[in-house]
Chain A
Amino acid sequence: MSDRVTLGHGSGGRMSQAIVRDCLLPHLTNPILSQLEDQATLKLCDGPDCRIAFTTDAFVVTPLFFPGGDIGRLAVNGTVNDLAVGGATPLYLSMAAIIEEGLEMSVLDRIFQSVGEAAHQAGVQVVTGDTKVVGRGACDQLFLISSGIGAVASGIELSSHRIQPGDKILISGSIADHGVALFCCRENIELHTDAVSDCAPIHRLTQAAIQVGGPYLRAMRDPTRGGLASTLNEFAEASGVTIEITERAIPIHPEVRSACEVLGFDPLTVANEGKLIAVCASDRAEAVLDALRKLPLGREAAIIGTVTGSSEAMVLLNTSIGGKRIVDLPMGELLPRIC
């Protein structure tokens, strides 16, 4: 077997976990990184309001423009969302661009216009950046790297390690939109759908969840690469719990579901770019759901499952016909370069 990096290592599933765990983490051990959250929460001084959330992300999506967004919008929202799910108010972003020689100036202009609009929409400022131009073939058109910081208010203690039996799993809307939209707009795929990426900032959803859920809100994530399946497995492993979700309760748009059926994709493993998964103690779950539903991005929010036990870290799906199956981490190369 090859000991080189393959595209499968970038899929957000089991192989991505392995490369991080086996190749990167051993050299960088520290207590903050080993939390393995989407963002690091840092304490800059000793006061109660001195915590900031810090995150970074690279964007290599192809094509640069897709139904529902483009690489600029994706970079801003991706970074904003990683901060937001840590309970932070996203504030400042950096944006670095690696540009392939020959890229049309107008394309760069359109994408940075989009960066500006998305930043405005998410209430953040891009305060620093960098540009590098590389020779033809050294990158594909344009890659963006974005970091962000946000303020974490006192009292917020969200962590995928805090999930307990009895907790409810909420999702803010339909799954698999981004992955399917990206897939179907690739040049060589002759499958036409109305699927549109869900690329959006979810900081208002996270703020509403925090406000209503308070200390009962355990953890939040935005399920990007690897989809709902990856995020729930990460939750299950971090807290050592069994999570059961119900197929019928999971919102999915009909055009997305049929595209998945045709392409043989399990929608649970397909990427999202503007969804919130929240875990909340059962007592407060309905209230959080109501709060999410009041927001435009949360209209289709639903409670999709329950944490049922703590004997085994696993995710189970109650299927639509009343059967049951394991939901595992996706493996290998589903579709490279979706974000």
Chain B
Amino acid sequence: MRVAPAVETPVAIRIEGLKHAYQGHTVLEIDALDVREGEVLALIGPNGAGKSTLLRLINLLERPGQGDITYWDGSHLANLSRKQRRLLGLQMAMVFQDALLFKRTVRANISYGLRVRGMGRKERKGQIDEMLDLLGLGELADRDALSLSGGEAQKVSLGRALVLKPRILLMDEPFASLDYPSRMAMRNEIMGIIKEMGVTALYVTHDHHEVLEMADRIAVLHEGRIQQVGTPGDIFNSPVNETVASFIGVETILEGRAVHCKEGLTCARVNGVDVQVLAEARTGEKLKLVIHPEEVLILRDSAEAGSARNRFKARITGMAVLGPLVKVTLDCGFRLVSYITRTSLSEMGLDVGDEVTAAFKATAVHVIRH
């Protein structure tokens, strides 16, 4: 049974059978991908997955070896006239990982796109001032763009694209070169502006945390192919395969076999340990179990585990600080990873070698079948 989406959103860009190669090496092979009007679609995947190539193909900076892209006005990439190409190009803008500012003032940089469109000086000034205000760059307007800090420069680069009010904004890891605090602040600010302007945005990143917060939908690319497209919820809770699961930050993927299944609750045996999973399975079926680190609780006393069906005696084998979180590696017959806050770490006084209880709900386990 196919569930129809509640509201049919028009498609801004439809990609079909796209194939692109560099020197005989295929870097991109996409059977189908739609970008809907007004959405923020994140492209995630490891380096060399073909994400940047896809943006360049959409932006008409390169021609694909094969396949077609249909744009919002119904025109096909395969048979665009020179004029159409230009008109489409004027409605898209791209922001790169490096700010790529011109050796001019901040104002002149933001003005660039409007100027090459032949807009008059007066009209330009209004729009540039508006954008400078919006981004809080007013005081930097007359500074030499090359003297800006990394964060400021990236902001100017984004402003230079946003001032064009593009229909499609393409962003190739726009925040990747910034340090952690400025990245957080900036992506919230920029994403707010994008949503407010109603711009359709395609956004490449390999920070999966960023993506979960910012994107309406996510497309996971690996080795040039789309692995999965869906909402952050879809991707995070039900990755279709191991590649996606490992990429979106799931640390624990267990291999086991269903021992018995009753009323939708399956007991799977992993390394001799039984794990309760909320899923149907045939007895003897091979299963892969995905457990998100955020879902795994660490307890001093197993009585605190509440409704969690899975609780195991575990020993802490490692700890690593990840920003505000601490990644704790556990051994409970199989390897399990848990993220806890630094506060709870110090409250519980955990240390490597400690014996604890690890607990997670049967609903927290996602099953991947083969």
Bound pair (A, B): no
Report B's interface with A, CB cutoff 8 A. none
Report A's interface with B, CB cutoff 8 A. none
